Amino acid sequence: MNMSEQSDFTIEQFYKNVLQGKLLAGKCKKCGKVHLPPRPLCDECFSNEFVWKEIPQRGKLLTYTIIQVAPAQFQSMAPYAVGIVQLEDGVRIPGMIRGVASEQIKIGMELAFDFGICTATQQWPQWPRYYFKPL
Amino acid sequence: MKGKPLVSIVSAGLSKFGKREGMYGREIFAEAVKEAFDRCPKLNPKNDIQALFVGHMGESYEHQGHTGATMADWAGLLHVPATRTEAACASSGAALRTAIQAVLSGLADVVMVGGVEKMTHRTTAEVTEFLAMASDYPFEQWHGITFPGLYALMATAHMHDYGTTEEQLANVAVKNHYHGSLNPKAQIQKEITLENVMSSRVIAWPLKLYDCSLITDGASCLILTKPELARKFTDLPVHIVGSGQASDTIGLYERETLTSLEAAKIAAKKAYDMAELKPSDIDCAEVHDCFTIAEIIAYEDLGFCELGEGGELVADGETKLGGRIPVNTSGGLKAKGHPVGATGTGQAYEMYLQLTGKADKRQVKDAAVGLTHNVGGSGATATVHIYRRG
């Protein structure tokens, strides 16, 4: 990549891919490290060259919480569960967990991505949201 | 005596913490400054103080940025070089480190370092939103994860991995409220029971209202100088003998472990190594108990107990006044309060009182060596400082 060219491996592009129902990470061409979210500079070897790598849309729940007191824009959804999910290639990602009663959520349970109602907002940042659901 | 002094604290001030209705941040800062000046009659502020460093997290609260110059102006220190440091809730821990660097560099012989935040005039929803700015926006805030939510994610993992219980978390709150009841500057000076904590409403399970620190107005400051100049200003200096600071991923989700803060462990190791001291040498500590789980993780990261044993340490009373290593004798963020930018140097103020024997009802007997641990966000910044009686 030319030094002055803008990278495609950005958070903006990650969410554009989510909007298409795709979970794509950036894989460093030089050292092979997989970045989710993608980054324009590899934090391992400082390369700025990457290829897209499709990540399987399922993983294991590492930890979770049930949010009762939510920020203004999420208040209509509260209480809701959020967790951090371990995916393949050593990457993790947080998100809301839906479609399961909170008392049935357990660390270690298998979850899948749900791109169900992906719509982008009109104002910045114009990102959609993905969710997790039980497998 | 181990631990070569890096710099010496010759005075310190702390405003009353709490709901300071009708006060503006700079006015609260002036209150802390007044105490520091009154404690140190040999100091000639306008002549002696050569720089000011101020920790301040958010301009959103008072619609006021440019905090360094603002505080210098209202402290009567017009024209000194004045700089704000921002590292979320570790803003003044980072300011302290910066101030130490300024003295060690030789650029300044005497400096003031402090912190300030005015928060209570805002609604809880606004404060929640402003505080959340210290966490990752595109993957944490965007997905509805609040600040209590981030620490709840750590708590759930800690409970799962080590069998830590909600009652053990509650013990941290009960202990810190007891300590706060002995501190006339604490926001809440009232004891609470385990039952109060356990029956309080859930904020982000497993964390309940009484597991969370307070929304607070307050300010704090210290006067630092070179160790060789300390006796010029006071007969009772407190030396800073170790300083460590480290960073970590802004997103909690990217970390290898969710049950300890790597930045705090690195900062602690650096501070202990610099001071040539070990955890068992510490007589008392102020740690960043923004949530009860954070204090339990702090015990483990600082080496006060083994990994996974933090819950037992507090339940056994080891960290209460009179215990093996009293922690948060000020009441901590939990009861003294958490005006975020003021917290780091507020912790140092408590160490100054403890190590000069001025902590009154909450004095730790024969306290000679102390430690402060200040964390920004969910652990993307941590500072650790070690202090010795002069």
Tokens read off for A54 = 């499709």
Q: How many angstroms separate the CA atoms of B198 and B208, rounded?
A: 7
Averaged over B51-79, what is the pLDDT? 97
How would residue A7 be classed by pLDDT, with cut points 50, 70 and 90? Answer: confident
H or E stretch at A35: strand A34-35
Q: CA-nearest residue of chain A to B136?
A: A94
Q: CA-nearest residue of chain B to A125?
A: B138
Give the angle subtended at the CA of B246 by the CAs of B25 and B351, to the nearest 5°.
Answer: 55
Per-residue model confidence (pLDDT) at position A56: 96
Per-residue model confidence (pLDDT) at position A2: 55
Per-residue model confidence (pLDDT) at position A115: 86
A59 to chain B nearest CA, in Å? 14
Is B144 close to A74, i.e. CB distance below 8 A? yes
Closest CA to B146 of B204, B107, B186, B190: B204
Cβ neighbours of A93 in B, within 8 Å:
139, 253
Give φ, ψ of B361 to 5 degrees.
Answer: -65, -20
CA A76 to mean position of chain CA atoms = 22
Is B258 close to A69, i.e. CB distance below 8 A? no
Is B139 close to A67, i.e. CB distance below 8 A? no
Per-residue model confidence (pLDDT) at position B316: 98
Residue B74 has pLDDT above 70, yes or no: yes
Q: If you compute the radius of gyration of chain B from its CA atoms, what whole number of angstroms results?
A: 19
Q: How many angstroms separate the CA atoms of B239 and B361, rounded?
A: 23
What's the half-sphere exposure (Cβ side, CA atoms, 13 Å) at B112?
Answer: 38
Q: Are strands A80-86 and A92-97 parallel, antiparallel or unpaired?
A: antiparallel
Per-residue model confidence (pLDDT) at position A125: 86
Q: Residue A96: beta bridge partners?
A: A82, A131
pLDDT digits (tens, 9 = 90+) for B248-289: 999 999 999 999 999 999 999 999 999 999 999 999 999 999
Q: Which domains does chain A have, with CATH numbers?
A: 11-54 (no CATH), 58-134 (2.40.50)
Q: Which among A72, A94, A95 is the nearest to B125, CB-wise? A: A72
A10 SS3 class: coil
Q: Are strands B202-205 and B207-208 parallel, antiparallel or unpaired?
A: antiparallel
B250 reaches A (C-beta below 8 A): no
How would residue B124 be classed by pLDDT, with cut points 50, 70 and 90? Answer: confident
A38 reaches B (C-beta below 8 A): no
Q: Which among A62, A66, A129 is the nearest to B205, CB-wise? A: A66
Averaged over B28-46, what is the pLDDT? 98
Per-residue model confidence (pLDDT) at position B302: 98
Looking at this protein, which amino acid is placed at residue B259? Answer: T
Q: Which among B142, B155, B253 is the nearest to A84, CB-wise? A: B253
CA atoms B338, B339, B341, B342: torsion sign: negative
Per-residue model confidence (pLDDT) at position B3: 81
Q: Which residue has the higher pLDDT, A90 or B355?
A: B355
Closest CA to B172 of B367, B365, B331: B331
Residue B173 has pLDDT above 80, yes or no: yes
Q: Which among B125, B203, B207 is the nearest to A71, CB-wise? A: B125
Closest CA to A80 of A63, A58, A65: A65
CA atoms B186, B189, B195, B199: torsion sign: negative
Residue A121 has pLDDT above 70, yes or no: no
pLDDT digits (tens, 9 = 90+) for B199-258: 999 999 999 999 999 999 999 999 999 999 999 999 999 999 999 999 999 999 999 999
Interface test with A, best of B122, B145, B160, B255 (most A CBs within 10 A): B145
Is B253 close to A80, i.e. CB distance below 8 A? no
A66 reaches B (C-beta below 8 A): yes
Per-residue model confidence (pLDDT) at position B374: 98
Per-residue model confidence (pLDDT) at position A118: 57
How would residue B1 be classed by pLDDT, with cut points 50, 70 and 90? Answer: low
Residue B96 has pLDDT above 80, yes or no: yes
Residue A93 has pLDDT above 90, yes or no: yes
How would residue A73 be classed by pLDDT, with cut points 50, 70 and 90? Answer: confident
Tokens read off for B133 = 């700015």
E strand spans, B209-330: 218-225, 238-247, 284-286
Q: Which domains does chain B have, with CATH numbers?
A: 7-122+214-389 (3.40.47.10)
When the pLDDT of each residue in chain B is averaged and rounded to a whole number, the result is 97
Interface predicted TM-score of the whole assembly (ipTM), two decimals: 0.95
What's the half-sphere exposure (Cβ side, CA atoms, 13 Å) at B300?
Answer: 19
Averaged over B310-333, what is the pLDDT? 98
Q: Which residue has the higher pLDDT, A126 or B141?
A: B141
Is A71 close to B132, i.e. CB distance below 8 A? yes
Q: CA-nearest residue of chain A to B208?
A: A68
Kindly report whether the peptide bond that precedes residue A79 is cis, defined as omega within 30 degrees of 0: yes
Residue A8 has pLDDT above 70, yes or no: yes
Per-residue model confidence (pLDDT) at position B125: 84
Catalytically active residues of B, by annotation: 89, 338
Residue A1 has pLDDT above 60, yes or no: no
Q: How far is CA B125 from CA A70, B23, B122, in A?
A: 8, 21, 8
Q: Residue B210: beta bridge partners?
A: none
Q: How many angstroms separate the CA atoms of B268 and B280, rounded?
A: 13
E strand spans, chain B: 7-14, 52-55, 82-85, 110-117, 202-205, 207-208, 218-225, 238-247, 284-286, 369-376, 381-389
